[in-house]
Amino acid sequence: MKTLFKILFIPLCIVLLLLLQFGFIFLLLALLPSLVAYYIDSHTKKTSFKIVFAGNISATIPALVPLLKANLHMRHIDTMSVFHDPSVWLFIYLGAAAGWCVIFLCRYIARLILGFSFNHRIRLLQREQKFLVAEWGDGIADNVINSRK
């Protein structure tokens, strides 16, 4: 998959360069946060990068569409106006930031959920252990200790 991506990456860039022309540089600049995320993410699956990229691209696509449309219809468009519009850059980088926020927020929520779940399970198991000892005697605990030794 990785190799396939690598093989397709350069033709894709050429296609995008042809389609977007000057807009390709815009795309490269817009996806800078994703590029940073790619190098920051130490996981093999690059999950953080994928999330940041998804946020980043989601915010970039709306700005990219007029450029793509114009080039497809052979119409001239002032690419520089897009470059000079700070709201576009803000929106694009906010998209990438949203990706990072989702990562940290979800991790926090997951921690809350799992923490509660773990504690509940431990309490249930400990209650069952107590019941087992009450019913079968301390011998079963001794057996466990001995078997571990």
Partner 1 sequence: MAEPKTSSAKTNDAPGADAISDDERKKNAQSIAHLGEFLRHYSPPREHKERDMLDDRYRINLASPLPLLSVQNATAYAVSDITTPTRQLFAHVCERGTFIRSNVVAMLNGIEHRSIIQMVAAGTVDLSRGDEERFVVVYERPAGQKLSAWLTQKKMSLNPHFICTHILAPLAAALQKFSELDISHGLLNPDNIYFDEHAMLGPCAIEPCGYSQPYMYEPLERMQAMQAGKGEGSTAHDYYALAVTALYVIHGAAHFAGLPQERLMQHILREGAYAALMRQQEVPEIFYDFFRGILTQNASDRWNDRQITPWLSGKRYNVLPPTLHIDALRPFEFGDTRAVTRRELAHLFAMNWERMVAMLQNNKLSHWVSISLRNKELAELIGRMSRTVTEPGTRTDAQISEALMNIVLLLDPQGPLRIKSLSMNIDGMDSLCVEMHAQMAHQNLQFLAGFIENDMVNYWLPLQTKRNPEYAPSSAVKAMLAKLDKLRSYIRNSGFGFGLERILYDLNPNMHCMSPLLAKSYIHTLPALLRQLDRMAPSIAGDDIIDRHIAAFIANKLAMQYEIRLNDLSAIPAMASNRNIVALYLLGLVQEKHPTIKVPGLTHWLAIRLLPLADAVHSRTLRYKVKGLIQDVAPQGYLQRMAEIIISSDYASTDKKGFQQAINRYQRNASEISALQMPGRLEEESSRMGLKMATSLAYMGMAISVLMVIRGIL
- Give contact residues for partner 1 (rule: CB under 8 A): 47-48, 50-52, 54-55, 57-59, 61-62, 65, 69, 98-99, 102-103, 105-111, 113-115, 118, 121-122, 125-126, 128-129, 132-144, 147
Nearer to partner 1, 7 or 110 (CB): 110
Cβ proximity to partner 1, 10 vs 73, nearer residue: 73
Query: What is the distance between the alpha carbons of residues 77 and 70, in angstroms, rounded to a whole number?
Result: 6
Residue pointed to by tokens 């069952």 = 128
Q: Quote the least distance from Cβ 84 to partner 1, whole Å.
A: 22
Q: Shortest Cβ distance from residue 121 to partner 1 (Å)? A: 6
> Is the Cβ of residue 56 or residue 79 nearer to partner 1 in the bound state?
56
Reported as half-sphere exposure (CB side, CA atoms, 13 A), residue 108 has a value of 6
- What does the chain come to in residues? 149
Shortest gap between Cβ of 113 and partner 1 (angstroms)?
7
Report the chain's terminal Cα–Cα distance, integer Å. 47
**Shortest distance, CB of residue 85 to partner 1, whole angstroms?**
17
Q: Nearest to residue 27, comparing CAs of 69, 70, 56?
A: 56
From the CB of 104, what's the least distance to partner 1, in Å?
8
* Residue (90 or 125) nearer to partner 1, CB: 125
Question: Nearer to partner 1 by C-beta: 81 or 117?
Answer: 117
CB neighbour class for 94 (10 Å; exposed up to 12, middle 13-18, buried from 19): middle
- 87 φ, ψ (degrees, to nearest 5): -65, -35
